[in-house]
Amino acid sequence: MAGKHRTEQLRTVELFSACSNRELAKIARMAEEVTFPADKALLEQGASGSHAREAYVILRGSVVVRRNGRKIAELGPGESVGEMALFDNGPRTATVVAGTDLTVLVLQRQQMLGLIDEMPALASKMLQKLARRLRESNRKLYG
């Protein structure tokens, strides 16, 4: 995928919607495009260590998100999963499985942390988006 096209795709992702063109271009260059067949697990609830250090941006296809075996969401292009792994070493909070053949951008924790060291404002922008998502989840769960 051409760099400019990838940058435009990242611009539509809520996690990166407040990012500058320069920040998006750097993220686009470090992200790796990967395909998964339908029914392939991307994330396993409870996984930690080296298996819990990446986030995924969905380019094509869909994923099913399950927590404790119960379906809690189905996500598609422009959405992301696993973002908390970019900021902490905690275990995965859900299992994510490809609902269809799937193409994603993979963001590695160490690369993102290096980019944040270079561009500290990026962390603030991403954390604001994560906080908004957490607030919305809490509202749905607890009213």
Please count the structural domains in the chain: 1
Q: Which helix (H) or strand (E) holds 135?
A: helix 121-142
Structure-token pair, residue 93: 């909070």
In a domain, 140, yes or no: no
pLDDT in tens, 68-83: 999 999 999 999 999 9
In a domain, 142, yes or no: no
- Beginning with the edge strand found earlier in the chain, give each strand of the sheet holding 54-60 in spatial order: 32-36, 102-108, 54-60, 80-81
In a domain, 75, yes or no: yes
In a domain, 33, yes or no: yes
Q: In CATH, what number is assigned to the domain containing residue 104?
A: 2.60.120.10
- pTM recorded for the entire structure: 0.88
What domain range includes position 101? 3-135
pLDDT in tens, 24-54: 999 999 999 999 999 999 999 999 887 679 9
pLDDT in tens, 56-110: 999 999 999 999 999 999 999 999 999 988 888 889 999 999 999 999 999 999 9
In a domain, 143, yes or no: no
Residue 2 has pLDDT above 70, yes or no: no
